[in-house]
Amino acid sequence: MSPSPFVFPCGARLVNIETRMKSLPVDRARALAAFRLGDASFYWLTRICALVVLCILGGIILSLMIGAWPAIQTFGFDFLVTRRWAPQLEPTPVLGALGPIYGTLVTSALAMLVAVPVGIGIAIFLSELCPPALRRPVGIAIELLAGIPSIIYGMWGFFVLAPFMTDHVQPLFIDLFDGVPVLGAIFAGPPSYLSLFNASLVLAIMVLPFITAISRDVFMSVPPMLKESAYGLGCTTWEVVRNVVIPYTRTGVIGGIMLALGRALGETMAVTFIIGNSFQISGSIFAPGTTISAAIASEFAEASGVHQSALILLGLLLFVLTFIVLASARLMLARLERKAGA
Amino acid sequence: MDLSTIFRAACVAALTILPSVSAQAVDITGAGATFPFPVYSKWADAYKTQTGNGLNYQSIGSGAGIKQIQAKTVTFGASDAPLTAAQLSKDGLAQWPMVMGAIVAVVNIEGLKSNELVLDGRVLADIYLGAIKKWDDAAIKKLNPDLKLPSAAITVVRRSDGSGTTFNFTDYLAKVSADWKSKVGSGTAVEWPVGVGAKGNEGVAGNVAQTKNSIGYVEYAYAKQNNLTYAALVNAAGKTIKPTITSFQAAAANADWANAPGFYQILTNQPGEASWPITAATFILMYKQPVDADASNEALKFFAWAYEQGGKMAEELDYIPMPESVVKLIKDSWAKDIASK
């Protein structure tokens, strides 16, 4: 594509400048050429910036692949289905990614299960029901939540949330579902401070602001005319939200959720603090586990050889996992839009 | 005065000051084990006051320390797990023990004081294997007939990062329990059957302090500094031993350093009536042909000072200084192996 020609935003201004140029003792062709040069260099500057991003992305993938190559050669496809993580074995350690993948998916899914309804609920309250005096302080509080460093969430989770959940909430669930077929295994005891469940809750709180802030902004963008017509037809607030606001803003809300999911999948510090860093898969959400990023963070400094390469391979897997999740979200969104359009 | 004048003045000042500063005070850089970090930092403080030379020691873990020295980013590496003579000669490294310490089992059981709970190696291994799940298990009760133990699940806390402390702890468990040896084995990072992982000695100490009915293993200094409850252990001679400097010294006295190439010695499960069962030496790694001979000399000066004057400071933190005969062996090895300018 050639550089776009020099265009003024509005015609009136163009005329104005042209008349002024005529009156000035400047060579008009030269002035225009100078403009064109500036324009072209601006175009190339921005294009290079865009290309640099692509190069960095490609470089990261490439270096991950090079780093992961020894592990891929050693373990092959088995890496994805092996549950053991035994770096001490000689001469070749047995390492498998199933534990971290399981932990990553479970914690992210649980976190979204909690954060999506609560986050959208807050957004509906803020945009539709909240008295104006309260709107700003609550909105700012939500945005501040997003600014808290993740290590703080980890410490808070470790010292405050985990003891509370373990002493009061987990036993409740364990007793409630004791003996029930599938649920009994999911909520099996004993309660543990460091567990998938506690890590998921911290994650949920961490991603909440993303969902709320984006949903609120898109809810506010719904044209008042649409909402008021619905109210005029006698709709309740719930019906307006359900039938007007949410269908109108679906794309934006799902975008916010995807952003949150991306953060939940990759979150490291807070999770490492509170998940227990155990490679076992027990099936219970009250058991300790690990995630891909937590495994990398806690073992990378000490690892060497194939062990280190396996951790890099884990990183590559996280990359792929995140890509699959985001791509399928895009696909889903596109399908939804086509359906809505048809 | 405009900016460029200020900048130029600053440059001139920096150029004139910097060389004189670096000639006066040197920073020795080292990295590695967290286990001896309390005593190294105490020594570093005292050494700085006496000589003006500082020690920049990063306690990033033994494995990372070995990697840093191999990458030559530090003057010395520190590790709790000694390298074998073959590994040393491959990289051209010299190794020697710096100080000895002990690992204790720490527990968090309501109402329990230090040394009240007695454990032996077999029980400890079974707890870490997940075979013993509750504090009122018959095997624990048998060792503690008079103690009232809760019928609560044991939360096992261990290291999530590779660690020399783990190396010595698992080495001990493998020596006393055949089950542990066949199922898990020993190493700086192992395949833990149960438990939650925490980073560093301080992470394990923090987790045990925080979690009711938990058990963990830490270097003795960390247990004391964090006021954790530690258990007495039954040693190889079948005696119940409390972790004290005397029992650590008794275990250390047994080691035969003179006949260990590269000072390769693991001090767990030592014989002797009064020996604490999980003692460990922590090692220093340096290049025989250092890249920077000046830095290497400064580091050796610091170590020599620490052997001569650091003993009391080490004992205050319940580490065991190396016996004089061993220090002599070490100094001889420096003179023989490490090239100065």
Q: Is the minimum CB–CB distance between A198 and chain B shorter than 8 Å?
A: no
Hey, is the C-beta of A308 within 8 angstroms of any chain B C-beta?
A: no
Q: Give residue-wise pLDDT tens across range A266-289.
A: 898 899 888 988 888 888 899 899
Residues 6+ apart with CB under 8 A from B180: B125, B128, B129, B170, B173, B174
What is the number of H-type helices and E-type strands within chain B? Answer: 14, 13
Q: Which amino acid is at B212?
A: K
When CB atoms are compared, the residue of B189, B196, B207 closest to A88 is B189
Using a CB–CB cutoff of 8 Å, tell me whether A170 touches chain B: no
ipTM at complex level = 0.73
Distance CA A158, CA B75 (A): 37
Contact B60 A280 (CB under 8 A): no
Say how many CA atoms lie within 13 Å of A24 toward its Cβ. Answer: 12
User: What average pLDDT does the segment B284-298 reach?
Assistant: 89
| Rounded average pLDDT over B203-226 | 90
pLDDT for residue B140 = 94
Give CA torsion, residues B160, B163, B165, B167, to 10 deg.
Answer: 100
pLDDT band at residue A15 under the 50/70/90 scheme: low
pLDDT at B26 over 80: no
SS3 of chain A: helix, strand, coil, percent, to 5 = 80, 0, 20
Q: Which of A302, A304, A306, A308 to mutate: most B Cβ within 10 Å?
A: A302
SS3 call for B254: coil
Q: Mean of the pLDDT values across residues A174-181?
A: 86
Say which residue, A24 or B299, is predicted with more confidence: B299
Give the β-pairing of B320-321 and B93-108. antiparallel
CB B215 within 8 A of CB B208: yes
Nearest to B162 among A85, A86, A299 (CB): A299
Q: Are B286 and B93 in contact (CB under 8 A)?
A: yes
Query: For residue B40, is pLDDT > 80?
Result: yes
* Domain range summary for chain A, segments of one domain joined by +: 1-74, 78-341
A278/B163 CB distance under 8 A: no
Residue of A nearest to B203 (CA): A273
As a whole number of angstroms, the distance between CA B289 and CA B296 comes to: 9
| Model confidence pTM above 0.80 | no
Tell me which DSSP letter residue B262 carries: G
Q: Is B200 left (phi over 0), alpha (psi -120 to 50) or beta?
A: left
| A160 touches B at CB < 8 Å | no
**Which chain B positions have a beta carbon within 8 Å of A84's beta carbon?**
191
Cβ atoms B102, B245 nearer than 8 A: no
Q: Which two tokens stand for residue B65?
A: 């320390």
A58 touches B: beta carbon within 8 Å: no
Centroid of chain to Cα B178: 25
pLDDT at B99: 92
The CATH H-level superfamily of A78-341 is MetI-like (1.10.3720.10)
In this predicted model, what pLDDT tens digit does every residue of A192-202 receive, in sequence order?
A: 888 999 999 99
Mutate to test the interface with A, among B160, B184, B201 (most CBs of A within 10 A): B160
Model confidence at B6, pLDDT cuts 50, 70, 90, reads low
